[in-house]
Amino acid sequence: MQPGPGPAPWPPTDRPRVRQIVLDTETTGLDPAAGHRIIEIGCVELVNRRLTDVNFHRYVNPGRESDEAALEVHGLTAEFLADKPPFEEIAGELLDYVRGAEVIIHNAPFDLAFLDAELARLKLPRFSAHVGAITDSLALAKERHPGRRNNLDALCERYGISNAHRTLHGALLDGALLAQVYLAMTRGQDALGMDIGDGGEGTQRAAPVAAGPLSTFVLAASADEVAAHEQLIEGIAREARAAVWSAP
């Protein structure tokens, strides 16, 4: 008896490879024009809407202190950052990692202002020139949930994504949570159709849905999926300095 064919490869060989990067930064303050700098960059990769665990995470020495309010948010002290590389030493790695991908950022203008300021110091083109498209997940959330809170904590609660381990902000941890929020927020978009780029950088439009009464179907995560989620978060917490993200 001839053995049957093995499992179908993933991604399917006849399906285009769609690469998306969910990016987040932590900074010394709120305004790059006032000399504030990036201190942490976290990127989480999705290929064909699946997490790959091929992530990018770097701490950065900003050469200055963080504002007190910013320090309360991220907890990354000048002493901890003192032996970390400056942005110029990790810029090439970052740009190689994101090159050509669609980059998803929550409140994209904020992070882009800092990234562009860092690249300008190195006389390099703006961040958008290195990537395929930029999607602002905050703008997307506001379209789907007008008049409601759409920060990361609120979206995690809305979509049933556990963030109990998030005691302080961290770029890689927040990127991993945002990746799950983005997948939940855009679930079914492949079936409805995606049109990226025709309406401007990072624009997405779903195909029209027939009018009429709708019923809601909620698919609960399986035990294996819950375990995989917890394993991913634990791994990220270890990589991103576990003491920062774990409750005392």
Q: Catalytic residues, which ones?
A: 169
d(CA 39, CA 244): 15
pTM listed for this prediction? 0.71
Whichever domain contains 85, its CATH number is 3.30.420.10
Residue 1 counted as domain residue: no
Residue 42 counted as domain residue: yes
Residue 173 counted as domain residue: yes
Distances (CA, A) of 14 to 4, 125, 192, 195, 230: 21, 34, 19, 19, 32
Residue 8 counted as domain residue: no
Residue 184: exposure state from Cβ atoms within 10 A (0-12, 13-18, ≥19)? middle
Q: What are phi and psi of 196, to 5 degrees?
A: -105, 120
- Host domain of residue 90: 19-245
> How is 179-244 classified by DSSP, letter by letter?
HHHHHHHTTTHHHH-B--STTSTT---BPP---S-------PPPHHHHHHHHHHHHHHHHHTTHHH
Digit-by-digit pLDDT tens for the chain (248 residues) are 455 555 555 555 556 899 999 999 999 999 999 999 999 999 999 999 999 999 999 999 999 999 999 999 899 999 999 999 999 999 999 999 999 999 999 999 999 999 999 999 999 999 999 999 999 999 999 999 999 999 999 999 999 998 876 656 789 999 999 999 999 999 975 433 333 333 333 333 333 333 333 333 445 566 666 666 666 666 666 665 544 444 44
Are 116 and 34 spatial neighbours (Cβ–Cβ below 8 Å)?
Answer: no
Count of structural domains within the chain: 1
Residue 136 counted as domain residue: yes
Nearest to 87 by CA among 41, 24, 22: 41
Residue 12 counted as domain residue: no
Residue 194 counted as domain residue: yes
Residue 4 counted as domain residue: no
Distances (CA, A) of 54 to 20, 58, 173: 11, 14, 14
